[in-house]
Structure 1
């Protein structure tokens, strides 16, 4: 039995059931009695709202990320854990890797701990095969599922994401306005976020030409030296490029190493833009122009949304955060171009 069964049998919304469980006053006494009666009839004891029923739960939220060594994910974990603690919640962290089976196993493990909710950090939790996302939807029948940087339009799943498509569109468009003719796009994965970024790049390119030359879209390993080697090979094969837009700062740093190896001047001969505005952007030389997707805002917004859900409030399924382009020394935008930001 789950909250959906209770709502269906009572003829009310899931939000109404959650309000009843939490003692929200915006429910009539008649509706409250009906919902509680059906819960008793069905033998339903909800994990997510057990705190409100005085059932001595752990006041704990599960957090899942694929790779805690990734700067974006590590920062998100930090901000989320801190904000949960401020709201009286502890957390369990699982670093799942990218294999679907491991993700499923870790989510089941967290559910067995009687968590109040689960937060999935990163769009790598969304599989291209829709059926493979069923384990997330099943979990959402028991507890709220918060998804950062991905979008899944299903009940009890709440998504906080950046406008990645617009961000890469803007970055690529600025390089085109700067006069770059051949812009390379580097990415690591085709996650939900990765697909949105690639769409933005393609959309910008198509404002200048009628078709996309796929050779300028390159999948790269998540490794600085291997990115450098990939670009060296592309150059040796005759590919000409004077601009690089990347889906991750690490790829941009690899591009800088390529330029240094080849004796190419950045940004005079080659402009480079990273993504995430991570610590890598200010550690390299020259410092990296990068898209800031506001990991702190994403994280705090996610926890804020969760707190409203746990209080029985109705909240949107999707919250979109805008990005900023932080200009440093790997681009050479004129004052006129900067004014477009």
Structure 2
């Protein structure tokens, strides 16, 4: 056998006179292979210098020991942390991962899930609620994927067979945070959000419910959807403030948006937190990288991901697993609020 060429499982099976599934069983030390055959295959593998990949090992077991992870953008701090936690936990369980950063467009997300199915992974993890659309028809691609392999949703919810959702208490925490601001006399609270994701919608519902609970009416213009970086958020709010000088608080769906709001306030000479309070979300490194340090909702990203992997292992074992698991969030008060 020519050692200079790339040796494949097909080469090993041909020289040993066995099927590629048998070679895979040998690689996985399966008791279904006779000792004589196992020794012959292992001798050929050793002599050839063959290095098996996940595909080769998975053929004889029905498991590729590989999990597909999809996220919209790994440059996003929350998503990057989530992917890191998931990969760490999956390594502990002996699984490798295939990562696909799909971007935010609907077609790209659909295509990413389909491509992951074709990778013959054991399960698919969708990181972030950007994958959950507002209508059942647009979620059909996820329901279809779940007919092939288990689908785990990190902080998103979709009802369907073989779909398991682990979520933060986004609505509850934004209801609580907004309510605290209202109770301190802040009545003109800007709600800053990105896309209309499942999580974003829940956070907005919490904001709206806090006003309703107190018999107050919020100004719809105070809900701003803006999917941009810090400096552009600052610029947007500087312009917005010219027409809405009554702003006395900002609640943002992530820390990056909140830091943009903080920079706007400081540049505009607005005292934080005396004249304006600012709250972010995710309790990311950004929250302690600014001054004053940012108060933020900690949605327990690490706990979410640990629970996702633990639940997935039970699913793969055939155990009963709740289709919806809620993880409690908490508010971390720092220098941008009067707590």
Scaled by the length of structure 2, the TM-score of the pair is 0.81
Q: Compute the displacement of 1:56 (Å).
A: 5.5
Report the equivalent of 1:244.
250
How far apart, in 2, do the equivalents of 1:127 and 1:169 lie? 23
The partner residue of 2:145 within 139, 143, 147 is 139
2:67–2:121 Cα contact (<8 Å) kept: yes
Query: Residue 63 of structure 1 aligns to a residue in which SS?
Result: strand
State how 1:147-162 maps to structure 2 within 5 Å.
147-162=153-168
Higher relative contact order (CA 8 A, sep 6+): 1
Q: Compute the displacement of 1:174 (Å).
A: 1.1
Q: Compute the displacement of 1:135 (Å).
A: 1.0
State how 1:59-138 maps to structure 2 within 5 Å.
59-138=65-144
Q: Over residues 27-56 of structure 1, what are the superposed CA-to-partner deviations in whole Å (9 max), with x where a residue is unaligned? A: xxxxxxxxxxxxxxxxxxxxxxxx999436
Report the equivalent of 2:41.
none
Report the equivalent of 1:232.
238
Query: Residue 92 of structure 1 aligns to a residue in which SS?
Result: strand
Query: Residue 250 of structure 2 aligns to a residue in which SS?
Result: strand
Q: Over residues 295-335 of structure 1, what are the superposed CA-to-partner deviations in whole Å (9 max), with x where a residue is unaligned? A: 000000000000000000011100001100001000112xx
Q: Which runs of 5+ in 1 are unaligned?
A: 1-50, 334-341
Report the equivalent of 1:264.
270
Q: Compute the displacement of 1:207 (Å).
A: 2.7
State how 1:149-298 maps to structure 2 within 5 Å.
149-298=155-304
Of 170-179 and 288-297, deviating more is 170-179
Query: Residue 291 of structure 1 aligns to a residue in which SS?
Result: strand
Q: Does 1:319 align with 2:325?
A: yes
Q: Compute the displacement of 1:138 (Å).
A: 0.7
Aligned length: 284
Query: Residue 206 of structure 1 aligns to a residue in which SS?
Result: helix
How far apart, in 2, do the equivalents of 1:232 and 1:140 lie? 45
How far apart, in 2, do the equivalents of 1:53 and 1:254 lie? 51
Q: Compute the displacement of 1:205 (Å).
A: 1.3
Q: Over residues 34-93 of structure 1, what are the superposed CA-to-partner deviations in whole Å (9 max), with x where a residue is unaligned? A: xxxxxxxxxxxxxxxxx9994364210000000101111000000000100100100000
Which 4+ residue blocks in structure 1 deviate beyond 2 angstroms? 51-58, 207-212
Q: Which runs of 5+ in 2 are unaligned?
A: 1-56
Q: Does 1:301 align with 2:339?
A: no
2:191–2:222 Cα contact (<8 Å) kept: yes
| CA 91–68 in structure 1, closer or farther in 2 if over 3 Å, else same | same
How far apart, in 1, do the equivalents of 2:244 and 2:85 lie? 45
Q: Over residues 97-142 of structure 1, what are the superposed CA-to-partner deviations in whole Å (9 max), with x where a residue is unaligned? A: 0112211222122111210000000111011232111111111011
